[in-house]
Amino acid sequence: MRPFLLLLVFLFVACPALVRAQVKALRFGRVVDGRGRVIPNAVILIKAERIVAVGPEKDVVIPTGAQTIDLRAYTAIPGLIDAHTHMTFYWDKTPGSTPWQQLGTLGPAVTVFLAQENARKALETGVTTVRDLGSSDGMDLAMRALINRGAMHGPRMFVAGNGLHISGPPDKAGVVPDPGRCDGVAEVERAARQQLAAGADWVKMYGSTGSDQDVTGFQTFSYEEMKAAADVAHRAGKRIAIHSYGPDGARDAVRAGANTVEHAIDLDDATLAAMARQGTIYVPTVEHNRYYIAHRAEYGYDSAVVAGLNQYVAKNFATVQRAVKARVKMAMGSDAVFTGFGENTRELAWFVKAGLSPAQALRTATTTGAEMLGLEGSLGALAPGYYADIVAVEGDPLRDIQVVIEHVKWVMKGGQVEVDHTSAGPAVPPR
């Protein structure tokens, strides 16, 4: 009986303390809540993984015993959402190798383990959620599961499994085609259903050529095939992202009911108008081709490749400018691969250059990203009931978007501190 009584006494004494310890109070110089409100001298209260209160210091009562974190030197913004990543594209920088050559050679288990580095680097940029648009061998499903159970540090992942693609490159002769390969409506339906059955959150479809050094944008799947994939996704309560480098695939993707259109250049006016009307989200990923140019040595790209990439960037940016005028919703997607992790939020600068205010640009990575995921009630804002995904930046993100891109000092995801570069924080971020 005695140990049992002792346990009871212990629980009686310790439990209120444990409950209190669960509450965290974050003090900020300012909170930008993601819904248009700016609160100076603010407090955010967190219980477990959710926000329970946000407001001015004078209005929020900090419970006694709450763990208080002083971030008054910083501005809080919502955790950022990267709408387009490839988390399992990992390169170990072996001398003489290039990222694309090494892809697929390390094996799925080894790759998942090593790709933790990509996930950590994404967190460092303030990205607490990603939509991962294309992997293989269930590696994205594995990372999602490991991160959700706390065994791996990384952003929340919403994944697409194998992207659907037509026969042809990148298929190699004599190699068993991956499960994303499909031709014709029936095969498209099967492939889409299989990916969803395996646990994908999204269907990803490659609706045109174009990737890596190839900037061609020839339509691959027909309108009927796109419609079939979109219908499979929507009937299952899921969503579909269609990749198209060129305007033709994008036009059919929008007609077919794609929820998001990735990359596309030279979108015609009617398509832009339809996107604005339907709420189709454009994820232009302008930055990823600039990234390839900047990293040309790693990739082994020659000057002809760089010239092609430059041309594509210019057209991509011009299309973003037209999308801004046409009031098309846009989401920040990096298309990060390999060493692109850690540069996830640079796309924001292109949006500001194209005419969005810093506040509007921030929305592409917060409220619009959340809406894209159908999680506008729990992600992308700092408000009661939302996940405690919070980024502390140094400076005024509403005046200068570079503050978001370059001056992330502290990151919390689901109530846990993931990155701490504050003067009070550990020299080495917690791992």
Size of the site for Zn ion (CB under 5 A): 1
Contacts of 291 (CB under 8 A, 6+ apart): 340, 343, 346
Distance from C-alpha of 144 to C-alpha of 202, rounded to nearest angstrom: 13
Residue 133 CB, nearest approach to Zn ion (Å): 5
What residue type is assigned to position 260 of the chain? T
Residue whose CB is less far from Zn ion, 140 or 335? 335
Residue nearest to Zn ion (CB): 335
Residue 211 CB, nearest approach to Zn ion (Å): 7
* Contacts (CB under 5 A) with Zn ion, residues 236-295: none
Residue whose CB is less far from Zn ion, 82 or 335? 335
Residue whose CB is less far from Zn ion, 75 or 339? 339
Residue whose CB is less far from Zn ion, 75 or 316? 316
Identify the CA nearest to 155 among candidates 92, 89, 85.
85
Identify the CA nearest to 260 among candidates 169, 311, 332.
332
Residue 95 CB, nearest approach to Zn ion (Å): 27
Residue 336 CB, nearest approach to Zn ion (Å): 9
Residue 207 CB, nearest approach to Zn ion (Å): 12
Residue 373 CB, nearest approach to Zn ion (Å): 17
25 φ, ψ (degrees, to nearest 5) = -115, 120
Q: What is the DSSP letter of 79?
A: P
* Contacts (CB under 5 A) with Zn ion, residues 335-364: 335
Paired strand residues for 70? 27
Residue whose CB is less far from Zn ion, 87 or 392? 87
For residue 72, give both structure tokens.
Answer: 């008054």
Distance from C-alpha of 289 to C-alpha of 295, rounded to nearest angstrom: 10
Residue 276 CB, nearest approach to Zn ion (Å): 24
Q: What is the DSSP letter of 395?
A: S
- Per rule CB under 5 A, is residue 225 in the interface with Zn ion? no
CA within 13 Å, CB half, 168: 11
Q: How many CB atoms lie within 10 A of CB 373?
A: 22
Residue 227 CB, nearest approach to Zn ion (Å): 22
Residue whose CB is less far from Zn ion, 335 or 347? 335
Distance from C-alpha of 80 to C-alpha of 345, rounded to nearest angstrom: 8
| 431 within 8 A of 119, measured Cβ to Cβ | no
Distance from C-alpha of 319 to C-alpha of 86, rounded to nearest angstrom: 23
Residue whose CB is less far from Zn ion, 225 or 335? 335
Residue 116 CB, nearest approach to Zn ion (Å): 20
Residue whose CB is less far from Zn ion, 335 or 389? 335
* Contacts (CB under 5 A) with Zn ion, residues 316-335: 335
Distance from C-alpha of 74 to C-alpha of 407, rounded to nearest angstrom: 10
Residue whose CB is less far from Zn ion, 211 or 271? 211
Contacts of 122 (CB under 8 A, 6+ apart): 82, 85, 87, 130, 154, 155, 336, 341, 342, 344
Residues that bind Zn ion (CB under 5 A): 335
